[in-house]
Amino acid sequence: MKSFLLILTLLAGLFSVFLEGETPVFRVKMQNGGYFQVFENRDSLGILKGYWSNIIAPVCEDSVCYNVDILFKWNLLGDFVAYETPEKSPLTKLDHIPFTPADNQKLQSILTNHDLIFTGMPAEKLIVKTKKEGIDGYSGATVTTIKEEVIEGALYTCYTLWHIANGPVVDSIRSHTKKLMDDQMIQEMLKMNNSKAHYFLINSLSETQYKNHLPVILKLTLEGKGYFPKNAFEKIPSHLFEQQGLQEFLIKNYHEYSYYTQMAILKKLQGVRLSKPLLLSLIEQLDERNSGQNQRIVNLVIANENKELLKVLGEEIRLKEVNLNSEQREKLEGLGIL
Amino acid sequence: MKNYLSALFICFCLSKVSAQKKTTIFIEAESFDNKGGWVIDQQFMDVMGSSFLMAHGMGKPVADASTKVIFPEAGDYFVYVRTRNWSAQWSDQEAAGQFKLLINGKALEKTFGADSAEWGWTHGGKVTLKKGEATISLKDLTGFNGRCDAIILTNDPAYKPIEDFKKLNDFRNEYFGFDQNPKDAGDFDFVVIGGGMAGTCAAISAARNGVKVALIQNRPVLGGNNSSEVRVHLGGRINLEPYPNLGNLVNEIGPEEGGNAQPKSYYEDDKKLNAVLNEPNISLFLNHHANKVEVNNGTINKVYAVNIETGEKVFFEAPLFADCTGDGTIGFLAGAEYMTGRESREVYNEPTAPEVADNLTMGASVQWFSEKAEEPVSFPDIKWGLPWNSEKAEEITKGDWEWETGMGLDMTLDFEQIRDYGMLAVYSNWSYLKNSEATKNKFAHENLKWVAYVAGKRESRRLKGDYVLIEQDLTEHRVYPDGTAPTSWTIDLHYPDPENSKLFPGAAFKSIAKHIKIYPYPIPFRCLYSKNINNLMMAGRDISVSHVALGTVRLMRTTGMMGEVLGMAASICKEKETSPRGVYENHFASLENLMQKGVGNPNLPAIQDYNLGGTLMEGEK
Ligand SMILES: Cc1cc2nc3c(=O)[nH]c(=O)nc-3n(C[C@H](O)[C@H](O)[C@H](O)COP(=O)(O)OP(=O)(O)OC[C@H]3O[C@@H](n4cnc5c(N)ncnc54)[C@H](O)[C@@H]3O)c2cc1C
């Protein structure tokens, strides 16, 4: 409990070194009122590449305290990237033993890892109190389940720094990046070439940006893993589906997508005037099973009210023995198609 | 009451045919009027014949169980008790679970539970009884799981109790008249067997979709591994693509707090029970163990269940059944195709499968914990435990999931041995911590508060469906159009702990887990119904998956969502008068619609933020 309180008080004491000539873009407030300042990191052309902050945080290991002086860097998405410490004040472990290169490597991997058990634990649960033989007092021993995860003798350094690197700063960075989303930034995101960046993109683009960058977004959907393509199509503004280019893209690529992406596309196509070739290619996708996809395709063909296409639809249904539900069957019979 | 009436019944029968008025009275221990501190254990009844009473005192003798019996004749009666010495398979020392039989408060000289290692009749000597009512009691002597299945009192010196358990069961059934007169449970559209998360969600989902359901559960509580009897917390994620409303019911009925082997209240048994009781469409049959199936042409007509306390039989007729027993018991009894153990690599080309198939399954767990007491607490220095020493000692106060054993044994046929070995390891370690010079001071105030006697299972039979889900489907994200509940936990497979195996060769009781991360993956509907039994669906850990794929789908938020899907499918089967395969082939769009809508309350906050697991998520949503 003692060490927990200590940590809280010390976190409150966090502050960031103010650097002359640079203006912080925001400050990150910590639970107890302490804060640190975050700066943009731009390259020589002025292109935003990420963020940094110089942080001084007091940390205590088993009642031995010192000031951690550390520079943190994040990317545009708020992912922690790397840290640096001044040569003169390296990170230290219990009893002021400086970090070895291996310790630094381990800390780097800890700060970028989101699957650790100890980071999800309340500070007071990190140690178990053990009674020292012959001494009337308790000392803390790291809980066994997390021993492997942390640097021996630097438990609270790891814990405190992880929470700074991956705490509220992440959301602040993301909203700042989102505000600055422009063509240049879009290019940067595309370059990052990971699904997180791509999700960030599809969740941040304006309607106009979608319109202007549609070809790259569509390319991403072809490459994207998991549910990215589905989510991307769901985000593309509905009116863009009227575009001939997009409809042609679908003719060429619809069959490449997973069932759930196809379902999302079909949902977007509702109420959209569709070209004849697109409808024809969709009719080809019908299969004998009764599925949500069949239903949506049949409904789209009916809604587009083209006699010729309805005839093709009828033939395809007969040929493939497509399994319709009763409402669709009635409707098509009513239209004289079946 | 039951045994009292039945006792009379047999006496009259026998007295009709015999001039010497031979009277044999058969008493089922689990039917005792007053169970005292003894618990009913039904886990092995398919193997040893019956549920029984067990003194699960965790080292402290439990309160006596007692019942009243009427003796129609005065005279000398021979006493037989069906019991076993469960610790004898590991130790030739004094038996762990010993007890006395008291008649009208007076103990027989014989001590029970101390002889045969196998279930069998122990001769308890002779007693002289008056005509009329007598009280029979069980007095626990050790607090270490003594067990009593049944008692026979006979005035026929030539009487030999039946040892063969099948013949004995015939005898019991005839004696109590159960087989002649099984009760009709009523009219149902859908019968769900097994009341874990899978079965409970299946029943509620079906009921809310207008289906008349019977839910059969062989324990007094719902929840299965997530009940306070086993104490495993829910894991995995809900509300995921491609059906974000699946999981609303899991969110509605699941416990708010996480943690394995925690105090009873964590598991909120009543929340699950009330959710079921609130559904007018569900008839709940707690304490009923399904153990017989009638099949005609690949279609189940009836499932029979026996009341684990009274022994009465009930049958359930319906057009549709769901096997949510975890063990695939209903499918097995119906002749469904099934798989067990590990498939060899060549079967499905799975990278994680072994070269050669074997019978290794994931194990079962007896979890436990202790609590600090104000005063020092003692614990018996047991002689029948496993040989222990400082190297073997686990200086801890909680046995979590990794206290896992029985890999390589049969999770149905050998389960009593597996459960008992799990308990033996717990007691052996605890007795060492409490009594050895090295540790006893440190653990002086620790009080062994809870040890599971219902062991948590992870894997037994997997019933074969129209599709068998495999590793590459998950790792390469090959999604199929008939996807349903998304599985999101890692492929989490367990193996005997190498360190523990060194200390306990061939009999490890601890495990390690190996994980492969996956993206949320919708389980194909074709994995949720039997390939060859037309009207059988399944949800839970007994669905159609390879051993490797089981590693992820077995999580209880996932099995709960499978249950949600089964309930929806049942409503379509009812409405369209079709089979589960018919839903897949002809009405799948209706199921998609129901899955999009979900069945649980969508407006509840997502409170279960524990144990979500290391899923590959694709970034911000
Ligand atoms: C120690 C341990 C730790 C685990 N950790 C986790 C975890 O952290 N999170 C997680 O989500 N999962 C975990 N699992 C896995 C999960 O608990 C299982 O996969 C679970 O079995 C899945 O739920 P289910 O509904 O299929 O089966 P169960 O929970 O096993 O429920 C089946 C129910 O059916 C009843 N039954 C069986 N046969 C019959 C019959 N013939 N008649 C009537 N009733 C019957 C049983 O008594 C039981 O109550 C763990 C398992 C164990 C053992």
Per-residue pLDDT for A55 more than 50? yes
* Minimum Cα–Cα distance from B474: chain A residue: A226
Angle subtended at Cα A19 by Cα A17 and Cα A25, rounded to the nearest 5 degrees: 90
Which residue has the CA at smallest separation from atom 7 of ligand 1? Answer: B235
Per-residue pLDDT for B212 more than 90? yes
Residue A148 covered by a domain: yes
Which residue has the CA at smallest separation from atom 24 of ligand 1? Answer: B540
Cα separation of B621 and B606, whole Å? Answer: 16
Stretch B337-357: mean pLDDT, rounded?
98
Structure tokens at A135: 């001494």
CB contact under 8 A, B519 and A225: yes
Per-residue pLDDT for B16 more than 60? no
Q: Are A152 and A190 members of one domain?
A: no
Stretch A301-323: mean pLDDT, rounded?
93
**Stretch among A15-29, A85-99, B579-593 having the lowest mean pLDDT:** A15-29
pLDDT band at A333 (very low <50, low <70, confident <90, very high): very high
Q: Are A19 and A153 members of one domain?
A: yes
**Stretch among A192-201, B64-73, B258-267 having the lowest mean pLDDT:** A192-201
Ligand 1 atom closest to residue B197's alpha carbon, by position in its atom list:
25
Ligand 1 atom closest to residue B216's alpha carbon, by position in its atom list:
43
Number of domains making up chain A: 2
CB contact under 8 A, B585 and A290: yes
Which tens digits make up the pLDDT trace of B226-281?
Answer: 999 999 999 999 999 999 999 999 999 999 999 999 999 999 999 999 999 999 99
Per-residue pLDDT for A308 more than 70? yes
CB contact under 8 A, B480 and A259: yes
* Minimum Cα–Cα distance from A324: chain B residue: B586
Residue A104 covered by a domain: yes
- A285 contacts chain B (CB < 8 A): no
Stretch A292-317: mean pLDDT, rounded?
94
Q: What is the pLDDT of residue A11?
A: 45
**Stretch among A160-169, B293-302, B564-573 having the lowest mean pLDDT:** A160-169
Going by the DSSP 8-state scheme, the letter that residue A153 receives in this structure is T
Q: What is the pLDDT of residue B11?
A: 43
Q: Are A154 and A248 members of one domain?
A: no
pLDDT band at B618 (very low <50, low <70, confident <90, very high): low
Stretch B592-618: mean pLDDT, rounded?
90
Q: Are A11 and A155 members of one domain?
A: yes
Q: Are A279 and A199 members of one domain?
A: yes
Q: What is the pLDDT of residue B21?
A: 75
Q: Are A142 and A199 members of one domain?
A: no
Mean pLDDT of chain B: 94
Q: Which residues in chain A have their CB less than 8 angstroms from residue B592's CB?
A: 291-292
- Which one of A171, A190, A223 terminates a domain? A171
- A292 contacts chain B (CB < 8 A): yes
Stretch B11-22: mean pLDDT, rounded?
46
Q: What is the pLDDT of residue A139?
A: 54
Residue A50 covered by a domain: yes
**DSSP H stretches of helix in A150-291:** 155-165, 169-179, 183-192, 195-204, 207-212, 214-223, 228-235, 244-253, 259-269, 276-284
Q: Are A193 and A157 members of one domain?
A: no
- A289 contacts chain B (CB < 8 A): yes
CB B97 within 8 A of CB B143: no
Structure tokens at B236: 């995995």
Which residue has the CA at smallest separation from atom 26 of ligand 1? Answer: B540
* Minimum Cα–Cα distance from A171: chain B residue: B620
Q: What is the pLDDT of residue B620?
A: 42
**Sign of the C-alpha dihedral, residues A202, A207, A213, A215?**
positive
Q: What is the pLDDT of residue A33?
A: 60
Q: Are A33 and A157 members of one domain?
A: yes
pLDDT band at A141 (very low <50, low <70, confident <90, very high): confident
Per-residue pLDDT for B372 more than 90? yes
Residue B215's nearest CA partner among B198, B191, B196 is: B191
Q: What Cα–Cα distance (Å) separates residue B192 from each residue in A280, B418, B467?
A: 45, 27, 22
Residue B94's nearest CA partner among B36, B144, B37, B153 is: B144
Distance B250 CA to ligand 1 centre (A): 15
Stretch A260-267: mean pLDDT, rounded?
96
* Minimum Cα–Cα distance from A296: chain B residue: B589
Of B242, B585, B619, the CB nearest to A200: B619
Per-residue pLDDT for A60 more than 90? no
Residue A108 covered by a domain: yes
Residue A160 covered by a domain: yes
**Stretch among A102-116, B13-27, B236-250, B461-475 having the lowest mean pLDDT:** B13-27
Per-residue pLDDT for B517 more than 80? yes
Q: What is the pLDDT of residue B178?
A: 84
CB contact under 8 A, A200 and B620: yes
Residue A176 covered by a domain: no
Q: Which helix (H) or strand (E) holds B291?
A: strand B288-296
Cα separation of B326 and B461, whole Å? Answer: 8
CB contact under 8 A, B592 and A197: no
Per-residue pLDDT for B340 more than 70? yes
Q: Are A254 and A105 members of one domain?
A: no
Cα separation of B329 and B300, whole Å? Answer: 13
What letter represents residue B484's amino acid? T
What letter represents residue B27's amino acid? I
Q: What is the pLDDT of residue A30?
A: 65
Stretch A171-195: mean pLDDT, rounded?
92
Report the SS3 class of residue B76. strand
The finding on whether B434 has its CB within 6 A of some atom of ligand 1 is no
Q: What is the pLDDT of residue A135?
A: 42
Q: Are A112 and A185 members of one domain?
A: no
- Which one of A115, A136, A171 terminates a domain? A171
Q: Are A197 and A289 members of one domain?
A: yes
Q: Percent of chain B having pLDDT more than 90?
A: 93
CB contact under 8 A, B620 and A203: yes
Task: Name the minimum distance, in Å, from the CA of B503 to any CA of chain A.
Answer: 20
Residue B219's nearest CA partner among B96, B348, B43 is: B43
Q: Which residues in chain B have their CB less than 8 angstroms from residue A195's CB?
A: 618-619
Stretch B160-176: mean pLDDT, rounded?
93
Residue A121 covered by a domain: yes
Preceding omega of B161 cis (within 30 degrees of 0): no
- Which one of A137, A152, A171 terminates a domain? A171
Q: Percent of chain B having pLDDT more than 70?
A: 96
Residue B28's nearest CA partner among B57, B6, B9 is: B6
CB B343 within 8 A of CB B350: yes
Q: Which residues in chain A have their CB less than 8 angstroms from residue B477's CB?
A: 225-226
Cα separation of B464 and B337, whole Å? Answer: 5
Q: What is the pLDDT of residue B12?
A: 37
The finding on whether B326 has its CB within 6 A of some atom of ligand 1 is yes
pLDDT band at B18 (very low <50, low <70, confident <90, very high): very low
Q: What is the pLDDT of residue B468?
A: 98
Stronger pLDDT, B561 or A34, i.e. the higher one: B561
- B331 contacts chain A (CB < 8 A): no
Structural domain boundaries enclosing A208: 181-334
| Complete DSSP assignment for A250-288 | HHHHGGGS-HHHHHHHHHHHTTS---HHHHHHHHHT--S
Q: What is the pLDDT of residue A186?
A: 95
SS (H, E, C) B307-348: ECCCCCEEEEECCCEEECCCCCHHHHHHCCCEECCECCHHHH
Stretch B128-133: mean pLDDT, rounded?
96
The finding on whether B190 has its CB within 6 A of some atom of ligand 1 is no
Q: How many CB atoms lie within 10 A of CB A278?
A: 22
Domains of chain B: 2-176 (2.60.120.260), 183-353+458-597 (3.50.50.60), 364-447 (no CATH)
Q: What is the pLDDT of residue A31?
A: 60
Which tens digits make up the pLDDT trace of B33-59?
Answer: 999 999 999 999 999 999 999 999 999
Residue A307 covered by a domain: yes
Cα separation of B367 and A258, whole Å? Answer: 42
SS (H, E, C) B505-530: CCCCCEEEEEEECCCCEEEEHHHCEE
CB contact under 8 A, B618 and A195: yes
Assembly ipTM: 0.78
Per-residue pLDDT for B20 more than 80? no
Q: Are A37 and A99 members of one domain?
A: yes
Q: A39-46 long-range CB contacts below 8 Å, 24 or more apart? A: A41/A73
CB contact under 8 A, A227 and B589: no
